Structure 1
Amino acid sequence: MLDLLLQDGLRPFLAAGGLVIGLLALEVLLLTVGISTEIGGDHDSGLGLDVTPDVGDHVAPPASQEVGIHSGATSGSLLDLLGLRGVPLTVWLAFLAASYAALGFVAQSALSAALGWMLPAWPAGLAAAVPALLVTARAARVLAGMLPRETTAAVSEKAFGRRFGDVTVGVARAGSPAQVRVTDQHGNLQYLMAEPLDAKDEFCEGTRVLMLRGPDGHYRLLGAE
């Protein structure tokens, strides 16, 4: 087994396997100190049209009028294609290295078992690159869909007005916001802090609510049941 691993045709894949460990260790370290390498997250860039009315009007426009802050961006499309949006960069690179190493080991081992020889390192490494990218993009998109988004009420995101959600943590009352789970226009779960529009209202965990965005960028809740 050791002789097989030391063959020249497996060197790029051995290096990729070692890189996986290093990248995962780096991401754990960065998260420990409160830093993430996520690309293409939901940041407020100040772009896009805010068509959500003031909370005082008690009226919100149809959801079809909501304009995303990243819509139509070519760079966003590329990030989505590669699966880079919504996952930390080091995790994406770890996926890529792991896929590359696994595909290379399987292909070279199959060649060795069937024909008694392996491809040289360079041709084998290049041949495994494209399939590894495809596998990585798919896996990263699946992971991104499973990760919750934490967004505070102070974030001036435009897309959550007039969306229904559920109170998940705490009791929403005047001066005491609770966590509300909302599904965004991309089907991802987002978590925001909000309090009732009417100071007399209280919403317990599990209550269905309607999100309204005020002129200050903060969110207020109306009962939806």
Structure 2
Amino acid sequence: MLSLALASENLVFSIALVLMLMIAVLEGVAALFGAGMSSALESLLPESELSPHTEVGAIEADSALSRFLGWLRIGEVPILMLLVIFLLSFGLAGLLLQGLLHSVTGSLAPGWLAVPVVFLLSLPVVRLGGGVLQAIMPKDETTAVTEDSLLGRIAVITLGTARLNYPAEARVKDQHGYSHYLQLEPDTEGDEFVQGTEVLLLSRQGAVYKGIRNANPHLSDQDPNRS
């Protein structure tokens, strides 16, 4: 088994398992000092810079990225947990499949072929594992908020350009300081919100929120005292 794990074709999978163990140890040490790695990892997620002159193709790419991240349950489950699930599933699946192939054919698949195949196979596992974690993770009733409780707060467009009937992704903080990601479009026809625009949430129709541009410089989604 050790020779299989150290084979050059399987080094990527073995490294993934080692990284998973290192993350677990580092997170445990950080927890002892009242810190954590999840927030740091979430801050590293890319946010594209869009302008009113951004090409339609770029906006569609941002929307596709947003949907893909949502499909992976990023934003619903701590990203550190999803990373651990990915590394574990990627490493184990790679070694198991390579071991099975070796027992049948006596050889291993080259890394350039095995890695992308196992990577794609691991993504549904991340989604499934994230769904399980989301269902079993303890929920603090004191910090639970309803969808309508976000009305009247300031959201910031994070991905895409919001137009009437064409919502974009926005981030809003609740009264406890937790961030929520939602779909947002202008309340008035002709308005357009690009990335970085602050929007006052006015109403909600199903899963889509409507709002107007924030005209009050004293209001911001960064204001921890706003309730």
More helix by share: 2
Higher RCO (C-alpha under 8 Å, 6+ residues apart)? 1
**Could you say which structure has the larger radius of gyration?**
1
TM-score (norm 1): 0.49
TM-score (norm 2): 0.49
